[in-house]
Amino acid sequence: MSTNKQTNTTASSHLWQAGLWDENPALVKLLGLCPLLAVSNNAVNGIGLGIATLITLVVANCLTSISRPLLMTSIRIPIYVLIIASTVTIIELTMQAWLPGLHGSLGIFLPLIVTNCLIIGRAEAFASRQNFKSSFIDALAMGIGFLWVLVLLGSLRELIGQGSLLDQAHLLFGEHANDWTIHFFEPDAGLLLALLPPGAFITLGLLLACKNSIDSAYQHHKDKKQNAIHTG
């Protein structure tokens, strides 16, 4: 009993580490780059699209895992797409009713979540072969991994481009968030390139370089430690 519990804990930890860092969908697998680069011109857009993608991923993975014994191979992919499309439609209509400003800001990239290869990929490659618990954890890990990259990318571009953070926070958090915006310098002093499409590619490239540097440093430290143990 104890061995099974330890195995389950290890498996869950591996899923979290994979989704958040080792196999991060945005920084390692490079999935969903179209919405990632298009709407990440500020932090609020990143939060909004990231949460919508996370919810869709969780629902798709869970329903795929539950329904996998009932589906024939020939109709499996269309059913996955139907589940994803239905979830995105509900999210879009809800956002249009309660958060119209954010809905307008995200534009076409909100319904395009349906075509996000991250979601259909996790449903087919993982959830269709795993139990409910593992599928749920995988969806959370991958979704949060995608979310934090979106938020970080949007925050960096907003900060460099217009010298602020959480600009237009009221679109997501309501009118009481009007004073949440933090100003570091005047917008005119910002680097306009950061807010344009080329700025998205450059900033993402810098994030990729930072992650690779951290991984390389960690691996070097790990190898050095193992060599010290062997020689000792």
C-alpha span between 214 and 115 (Å, rounded):
31
What are the pLDDT digits (tens) for 213-230?
Answer: 999 999 999 888 888 887
Where do we find the tokens 């795929």?
A: 64
Q: 138: Cβ–Cβ under 8 A, 6 or more apart, which residues?
A: 15, 19, 61, 122, 126, 127, 130
Q: What percent of the chain has pLDDT over 70?
A: 97
Q: Is residue 1 predicted with pLDDT exceeding 90?
A: no
C-alpha span between 174 and 179 (Å, rounded):
11
Q: Is residue 35 predicted with pLDDT exceeding 90?
A: no
If you average pLDDT over residues 74-88, what whole number do you get? 91
Q: Is residue 2 predicted with pLDDT exceeding 60?
A: no
Sign of CA dihedral 79, 27, 43, 142: positive
Q: For residue 213, give both structure tokens.
A: 């540097």
If you average pLDDT over residues 113-126, what whole number do you get? 90
Residue 31 gets which letter from DSSP? -
Q: For residue 59, give both structure tokens.
A: 């629902």
Most confident of 5-14, 32-41, 47-56: 47-56
Helix (H, G, I), strand (E, B) or coil at 164: strand
pLDDT at res. 52: 95
Break the chain into its structural domains and give their ranges: 18-231
Q: Is residue 6 predicted with pLDDT exceeding 80?
A: no
| Cα 57 from chain centroid (whole Å) | 10
pLDDT at res. 205: 96
Q: For residue 181, give both structure tokens.
A: 């915006």
Q: 174: Cβ–Cβ under 8 A, 6 or more apart, which residues?
A: none
Averaged confidence pLDDT in the chain: 92
Higher pLDDT, 214 or 3: 214
What are the pLDDT digits (tens) for 160-171?
Answer: 999 999 999 999
pTM for this entry: 0.94
Q: Where does the pLDDT of residue 4 fall: very low under 50, low under 70, confident under 90, or very high at 90 and above?
A: low
Q: Where does the pLDDT of residue 232 fall: very low under 50, low under 70, confident under 90, or very high at 90 and above?
A: low
Please, how many CA atoms are within 13 Å of residue 32, restricted to the half-sphere of its CB?
35
Q: Where does the pLDDT of residue 63 fall: very low under 50, low under 70, confident under 90, or very high at 90 and above?
A: very high
